[in-house]
Amino acid sequence: MSEVGAALMPGPVATSGREPVIWTRGLTKRYGSLTAVDDLDLEVYPGEIFGLLGQNGAGKTTTILMLLGLSEPTDGEAEVMGLDPNYEPREVKRRVGYLPDAVGFYGGMTGRQNLRYTARLNGLRDAKAEAAIDEVLDQVGLTDRADDPVETYSRGMRQRLGIADALVKAPDLLILDEPTTAIDPLGVVEILDLLRTLVHERGLAILLSSHLLTQVQSVCDRIGIFASGRLVGQGTMAELASAFGDGTASIEVGLELPTPADIERAGAALRALADVESVAPPQDGSGSWHLTIRPADAEGRVRQDILLAAVEHGLRLTALRPLVPSLDDIYRSAVRRSDTGGKPA
């Protein structure tokens, strides 16, 4: 993982005992013979970023439109903030901030003027509106450019203004459709960092739709994998790795081994551990050892055994951490398995 990804990496989100802000059961949308969304069961909770991951055309945007009451489902049911978007779309829109893929503003107006227009549409006026606008401009880092015409903004600045636009009515839920498309790498980092800050400071829930695997992995607490209109897997990275892995786990072990005899002794000690299927020594003699564990759920106990072995054999341990598969590996496995009826390909 990159340093950026590590810095933004989310933590676990407790969902027990809390009501979801998004809830669907059997949600389905058909256009003639085409099923765009197929029997979707989804829950998103307060204080988490949930990523909808899938290629363009997988059904992500169609799902969002149904959640916002902008498209009527063919079958199934949905609740957003406890409301049925099919029958209460205006109330849903009042409580949900939405950033579409192609966000639009009046280019000749300043960022502040655009936000004033949105605030008026949402019933905010005068001092209350100005206070809300100042707050969201500060949150998205646009205070210094707030009074410049939007037509002078970069793509990244427009996206940040779009997030401010979604926040100005103080929503409980943000829905973002491809928020980092066509933004430079620095702008992407700023936006993802901003999303994590908003969740931390405001306790918001965020539903983020994207086809960019690395970005989803770096910022989302839980991830739902979409393929051909179906949600083929969902959970934390660890849960997805367990569901779509090959039954093994990996551990990285760093050891300070000054002599060839130390290296040989370390290799023998690691290979002797129960449930260690294979041990790959460092390629250059100074890197990390990689252990493959089978079954995968033995990984925690094996890490404890490594600590004990290091003490017993006088090995100086410098690093010990589990290696989670990349989201790219998980995604490919999940899609392949869905194509073969749920069985490993």
Are 215 and 311 in the same domain? no
Are 295 and 252 in the same domain? yes
**To the nearest 10°, the Cα dihedral for 66, 71, 76, 82?**
50
Please report the sign of the dihedral spanned by the C-alpha atoms of residue 40, residue 54, residue 214, residue 206: negative
Instruction: Please give the tally of structural domains in the chain.
Output: 2
Dist. CA 322–CA 312, nearest whole Å: 22
Question: How much is the pLDDT for 46?
Answer: 94
Is 168 within a domain?
Answer: yes
Question: How much is the pLDDT for 286?
Answer: 67
Question: How much is the pLDDT for 14?
Answer: 57
pLDDT-derived band at 66 (thresholds 50, 70, 90) equals: very high
Contact 99, 176 (CB under 8 A): yes
Which domain-ending residue is among 185, 209, 243?
243
Question: How much is the pLDDT for 214?
Answer: 87
Which domain-ending residue is among 226, 243, 260?
243
Which domain-ending residue is among 243, 267, 294?
243
CATH code where residue 262 lies = 3.30.70.100
Distances (CA, A) of 164 to 79, 124, 133: 25, 15, 8
Domain range enclosing 104: 3-243
Are 50 and 85 in the same domain? yes
pLDDT tens digits for 74-104? 999 999 999 999 999 999 998 999 999 877 8
Whether pLDDT at 1 is above 60: no
Question: How much is the pLDDT for 188?
Answer: 85
Are 51 and 173 in the same domain? yes
pLDDT tens digits for 35-44? 999 999 999 9
Are 218 and 264 in the same domain? no
Is 290 within a domain?
Answer: yes
Is 251 within a domain?
Answer: yes
Average model confidence (pLDDT) for the chain?
Answer: 89
Whether pLDDT at 345 is above 60: no
Dist. CA 147–CA 165, nearest whole Å: 15
Contact 28, 200 (CB under 8 A): no
Q: Which two tokens stand for residue 192?
A: 């993802």
Whether pLDDT at 5 is above 60: no
pTM: 0.80
Are 313 and 257 in the same domain? yes
Whether pLDDT at 147 is above 90: yes
Q: Which helix (H) or strand (E) holds 2?
A: none
**Residue-level length of the chain:** 345
Closest CA to 276 of 263, 287, 266: 266
Is 336 within a domain?
Answer: no
pLDDT tens digits for 178-218? 888 777 888 888 888 889 988 988 889 999 999 989 889 88
CATH code where residue 86 lies = 3.40.50.300
Distances (CA, A) of 208 to 59, 115, 175, 176, 256: 13, 22, 6, 5, 42
